[in-house]
Structure 1
Amino acid sequence: MSNNGKFYVPPPKDGRDFKELFKYLTDVGAGRPLDQDGVPVGPWTPDLLARAISQIRANPGGIEVRTVQYWFQENDRVPSADSIRWLARIFGCNDPVASGEWQAELSAANRRLKAKRKNEQREDTRYPQHAPANLPTPQSDIAPAPTASKPSRRFNLARKSEALFSNHSTLNLPASVWAGWVVLGFLTYIMGVHSVTYFPIDGLQKQVGFFWAPNWTLVELVILPLFLISVAGMLAFWKGERRLLVTLSGAELGEKDGWGRRVESFEFSHWAAFFICFVIVFIVQWSGIHMSALVNGDVGNLMMDWNLLAIVRPEVISVPEATVLSMLAFLYTAAICFLFLTGLVFMYTLAQDFFEICNEPDLHSNGVHQSKIGEIGSRLLCSIYRASLLGIWIATCIKLQAVYLLSDGKSIVDWLLGDVLFVLGVHDEAGGWLDQRALAHLTSFLLLFSTCAVFFFGFVQIYRVLEKALPSGAAGQLTKGHCVPRWMMLSIVGLLVANFFLIGQFSGFSILLIVGILTTIYSLFDPMFGRAQVNEMTTSKS
């Protein structure tokens, strides 16, 4: 029901207490604006509700988000008389008559909750413990009553990881990545390996400095932070819309079916990511390869990087300094790799959760519900697509640096520019290769494989729901309204995968690299042409 352009729900007057009534109203989005299909834009969250109350002119003092959060929780905290007045205006859609009715209903529900809590306390006082009747107990034998406490929950890595991505500020994770990079950058600058060269062969002075490596600059400063922000925003959007879909489906989902339980079901995946990053990448790769090479003073045919420079340039950095610096570098690498793989796990979890919730038959029996599924699913699909592009570029930057270190280019800029000029006919000689090997080829391939697997899983699962909920052909048009068409998604992902495998494999690969960069930028910052078609596509079946 619409009232002043907002979703109006009449007072049910069914005897619910305040907590039950408040949960129902926030889940269905009572008092929230309606979209063009007449569907509320989403449920209430503590932040949204606190902002709406603070915008009421008659309430110049506003309200704290923490106060509103208490109302959402299962506790004895109830709103004051003034707060009930503001809630009544919001749920009554600023209509005087409706607001008056809701003020009476909320006040009555508040009294019912207080009476319910008082009765529970009276029962607890009357029957404090089960003991045999009529048996006097000496005062000295009375043991103190145990304090009521919640049972301690075991450590759950999936829950802790979800808390990292679900922080109120999406800037916290990127800021942590930047802070770690700054520390590492200062250490490389102090030790003189931020911009440094060595002579792999006669006549070739090769740049291997920290600041020149895209896997240590572009990834940590730009691509990975954008990936983390994208995943955090995706989770925040889904957790807000999930409650609305569950409410529309009419399913009675208990705690075991909630988002928290869904996250916990993927705990093994989070532990697997932790093992790969901190055991394989950090302990095995650093101690077994890099530290061993530094201690023995022999790098073999392993590619030379600033981590190992003490072997060939001891006058720049000593072995003990390089050992400590490489340990910190690999520990930082393990941490950011864990964040990346955790983000992929959450993308997979989200797609699976959306698919299972939207398989409820009741959601597909109403045209308005189908419209909402289409809108939410399209946004999720496009978010997964954009995050996957960033993930592919993380793997590409790692391989690009590894291939450069195996080449005879003086610097990575000269190497890429020389490849372009050779294709254009300016240079007469193509670049050559050093007799070395790179472990980063395997690492970058595993990251690429993981990213593509998550993308294709999410694409299939979400698109199956959209095809079921929307008319024939409408799913593709709706997706196009949010980012790029379906066929373009698959084409661009295929282009970037081919770009990854072709780095250094033929003359002119850098041109393909430029094309991949441009198409990725277009996909990330597409002006969203075709959005005007969304309403027609989502409502055509109703």
Structure 2
Amino acid sequence: MKNNKSNIVLPPANGSDFKELFKYATDIGVGLPMGGDGLPIGTWTPQTLAAALSEIEANKTGVDLRAVQHWFENNDKGISAPSINLLARVFGGGDTEATTAWRSELTAGQRRLMAKRKASKSKTKRQSKEAVVEDPTLAKPRPADAIPVGEFPEQSFVQTDTSGISGVQHHPKTLAERCEQILSGAASMNLLIVYWLVFCGLGLMNYVFDTLSVTYSPFEGLDKQVGFIWAPTLTVLPLVALPAFIYYVSELTTYWKRVGRSKCILQGVTSTDSQGSAAWYAKVNDFKFSFWAIALFCLLFVFGFQWAGIYLPAYLSGDANSVQIDRYLVALVRPEVISIEEAMVLSFVGYFYTASYIAVFMFGLLFFVIIVLDFQDICTTLDVEGNKIEGRQIQKEGQKVVWGGFRVVVFALWLATLVKLQITYLSSDSSDFLSWVRIDMMGAFDATSLRNGLLENSSISHFTTFMMMAVTVSVFIFGVLRIRSSFERLAVYNRIQQSKRDYLALSEMLGVIALLSISLVLVGRFTGFSIVVGISAIASLHVLSGPKLRTY
């Protein structure tokens, strides 16, 4: 049945599923305008079909081009009920009878596709179980050449053709890919080992230069300790906070890349491990500029500006110029302990080390942002076809991302707090770090008449720690809001709502982050600040005992 306006053809009632019906309709140009020769004008492509769908007045939200592209591809991905109504109107070409027929047949075809997919999944699971029972060789380790490329996603591949022979060739990894490789999987342990070796190396250098424990006198009667072993940024930070931060960044990145992302995507479309790996690295490479910006910022400002702009002029002039005297600048007032040349070398290595862990700090937060945006993109383009079970699974993966991000953020705030404690102590008139904390705690309960005072010096690190805190908190809030917006889409589409338990957990997370942030800002501001810092640390450890990514 045809008319002079559109190519109107009723759907075949032959038991076809949605993919077969869709291919039939697009192949013969159902719904396309008719030319003078009695043939359809043009062909259906993802672009032309998406444009036709967007022109329908009832289509207020539009249909994403990627969703239309999925319909054209040879996969198991179906179509949502609202999209069926719109597609039926396009194929109906303005004819009421044809539109109704296409709506009915597309709906039936979608049900047939879902049934085939579920039957295929059940058959695959059954065959897998039977293979495990019947074939004991499956338990044996596979040779290296039998392992799919996708199981090593940190390697990037391009297909080339040399002299007519197709092969596999490595291409140089980008900075973003190298950072992802370092901060995920077993490679993150290599990074931890490097930092522990650097810690040992710095300790050995300070031992040789006799600055493990060294004092200076800012005024008569006070011998202030500024040695290596008294600095929390060179003891607690590399031994506790930094390893924990790297571990949780690696756990989140590895889980999302190898498990969580696949669980979300495979709810609606089949893909190979290598395809999933390529998509993940494409998302990471979208942020190549950000990785380079962070690396250059840490090299030029955290290292270059502070060492070459503050410490080097002090060494050359012999005057600290109101800058805090620390284990590096103590050479200006105690030249008999360490020479200026030795202090220059020590400070050069020390600030390069500081710049490196600030870069790791920022890379870790950036990976959380990348994972959140990747999850949101998947939720935006994925069609879970009104299936509540699949929708809940995707929501569960989003909750895991929030938990993983929370752990990363907690130890990021720990890093910033340790730096703030160190520079605030150097501004105090206490003889050593432990006495400074003890006097503050006892003073809060009026158990001593002593009070901590301040010296006349300054440090740019006060501003640095505030910015570290502000960036960390902003990243977590950004991530939560993006994931919640994805949850709202799932709730509308699948009628899935978050439980009270989820809201309670999120409230606890935000409460701990607020407490850590407040304690950081208040360090040294009033008597008893150390108690607030201790409470915030204990509270963060309590909430960190929450569910793990692989078991939640």
TM-score, structure 1 length as denominator? 0.70
How far the C-alpha of 1:147 sits from its partner, in A, is: 8.0
Which of residues 318, 338, 345 is equivalent to 2:366?
Answer: 345
Conserved 8 A contact 1:166-1:235:
yes
Deviation at 1:444, TM superposition (A): 1.2
**1:168 corresponds to 2:186:** yes
- The match for 2:510 among 484, 490, 505 is 490
* Closer, same or farther: CA 347–148 of 1 in aligned 2, 3 Å: same
Match of 1:182 in 2: 200
Partner of 2:456, secondary structure, is coil
1:128-207 alignment, distance < 5 Å: 153=171, 156-207=174-225
Which residue, 386, 389, 394 being the options, matches 2:410?
A: 389
Is this contact kept in 1: 2:388–2:496, CA < 8 A? no
Deviation for aligned residue 1:464 = 2.3
Distance 1:233 1:518, change over 3 A: same
Q: In the superposition, relative to structure 1, how do residues 298 and 71 fare at CA in structure 2: closer, same or farther (>3 Å)?
A: closer
Residues 201 and 57 of structure 1, relative CA distance in 2, 3 Å threshold? farther
Task: Kindly provide the CA deviation profile for residues 506-538 of structure 1, in whole angstroms up to 9, marking residues without a partner as x.
Answer: 11111111111110111222479xx9xx8xxxx
Structure 2 counterpart of 1:509, which letter? F
Deviations 1:265-322 (A, max 9, x none): 1111101110111111112211121122112111010011001111011111111111
Instruction: Compare CA radii of gyration and give the structure with the larger one.
Output: 2
Would the alpha carbon gap of residues 180 and 153 (structure 1) be closer, same or farther in structure 2, given more than 3 Å must change?
same
C-alpha change, 1:261 and 1:511, in structure 2 (3 Å) is: same
Alignment partners' CA distance in 1, 2:131 and 2:343? 57
Partner SS, residue 479 of structure 1:
helix
RMSD, aligned CA: 3.5
After superposition, the C-alpha distances for 1:454-486 in whole angstroms (9 at most, x for unaligned) are: 111111112222344358895254537xxx611
Q: Does the C-alpha gap of structure 1 residues 345 and 335 become closer, same or farther in structure 2, counting only changes over 3 Å?
A: same
Q: Does structure 2 conserve the Cα–Cα contact (< 8 Å) formed by 1:302 and 1:436?
A: yes
Task: Summarize the Cα distance change of 1:204–1:256 in structure 2 as closer, same or farther, 3 Å threshold.
Answer: closer
Number of matched residues?
A: 417
Measured in 2, the distance between the counterparts of 1:373 and 1:279 equals: 41
Q: Which residue of 1 aligns with 2:440?
A: 419
1:503 pairs with one of 523, 530, 535: 523
CA contact (8 A) 1:197 1:207 kept: yes
Task: Please give the alpha-carbon distance, in whole angstroms, between the structure 1 residues aligned to 2:424 and 2:442.
Answer: 18
8 Å Cα contact 2:182/2:188 also seen in 1:
no
The equivalent residue for 2:82 is: none
| Pair 1:469 & 2:490 matched | yes
Compared with structure 1, are the counterparts of its residues 466 and 147 closer, same or farther at alpha carbon in structure 2 (3 Å cutoff)? closer
Q: Contact between 1:378 and 1:478, CA under 8 Å: does it hold in 2?
A: no
Q: How does 1:201-220 map to 2 (within 5 A)?
A: 201-220=219-238
Question: Where does structure 1 lack aligned partners over 5 or more consecutive residues?
Answer: 1-23, 26-39, 75-123, 129-144, 535-542
Match of 1:283 among 296, 304, 318: 304
Check conservation: 2:298, 2:356, Cα contact below 8 A: yes
The 3 A distance-change label for structure 1 pair 367 and 289 is same
Hey, what's the Cα distance between the residues in 2 that align with 1:290 and 1:334?
Answer: 15
Equivalent position of 1:320 in the other structure: 341
- Quickly say closer, same or farther: Cα 1:261–1:478, change in 2 above 3 A: farther
Within 2, Cα distance between the matches of 1:476 and 1:60? 41
* 2:184–2:249 CA contact under 8 A, matched in 1: no
State the AA in 1 paired with 2:407.
R
**1:167 positional shift:** 3.7
CA distance in 1, matches of 2:547, 2:389: 27
Counterpart CA distance in 1 for 2:450 and 2:240 is: 34
Cα distance in 2, alignment partners of residues 463 and 277 from structure 1:
32
Partners of 1:56 and 1:330 lie apart in 2 by 60
- Residue of structure 2 in register with 1:246 after alignment: 265
Query: CA 1:73–1:227 in structure 2 vs 1: closer, same or farther (change >3 Å)?
Result: closer
The 3 A distance-change label for structure 1 pair 260 and 194 is same
Are the equivalent residues in 2 in contact too, given 1:197–1:209 (CA < 8 A)? yes
Between the aligned partners of 1:468 and 1:515, the Cα distance in structure 2 is 38
Provide the rounded CA distance (Å) in 1 between the counterparts of 2:451 and 2:149.
Answer: 69
What's the counterpart of residue 226 of structure 1?
244
CA deviation string 1:127-176 (max 9, x = no partner): x9xxxxxxxxxxxxxxxx59877788565211111111234354222222
Letter in 1 for 2:266: T
Distance 1:264-1:527 versus aligned 2 partners, 3 A rule = closer
Equivalence for 1:479: 502
TM-score (norm 2): 0.69
Query: Structure 1 residues 54, 247: closer, same or farther in 2, change over 3 A?
Result: closer
Is the contact between residue 195 and residue 211 of structure 1 (CA under 8 Å) also seen in structure 2? yes
Name the CA distance, whole Å, in 2 between partners of 1:267 and 1:434: 44
1:410 alignment counterpart: 431
Q: Does 1:271 align with 2:289?
A: no
**Residue 66 in 1 paired to residue 144 in 2?**
yes
